[in-house]
């Protein structure tokens, strides 16, 4: 079996802040044969951050995109 993307790339990629790096990590996970197992085990372990199984974890939950760093808004933004 060939090496998995997470075994040949720097660990920093899977915990990146830059949107382009996060998208690359997710794309590399796309064809991984253990993608679902990776995500399931990360959630079971309580991983809080990073790209696991092609999904972004933020504070232990799967999110559509990583929240920006910085202070939260004082007032909600209208949709």
The shares of helix, strand and coil residues in the chain, as percent rounded to the nearest 5, are 40, 15, 45
6 is in an annotated binding site: yes
Residue 76: count other Cβ atoms within 10 Å of its Cβ: 6
- Check whether 38 is labelled as a binding-site residue: yes
Binding site annotation covers 32?
A: yes
Q: Is 12 annotated as a binding residue?
A: no
Binding site for [4Fe-4S] cluster, by residue number, is: 6, 29, 32, 38
Binding site, by residue number, is: 6, 29, 32, 38
């Amino acid at each position: 079996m060939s090496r998995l993307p997470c075994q040949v790339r720097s660990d920093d990629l899977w915990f990146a802040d830059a949107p382009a790096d996060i998208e690359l990590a997710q794309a590399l996970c796309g064809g991984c044969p253990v993608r679902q197992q990776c995500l399931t085990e990360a959630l079971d372990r309580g991983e809080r951050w990073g790209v696991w199984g092609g999904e972004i974890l933020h504070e232990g939950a799967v999110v559509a995109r990583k929240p920006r760093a910085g202070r939260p808004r004082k007032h909600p933004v209208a949709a």
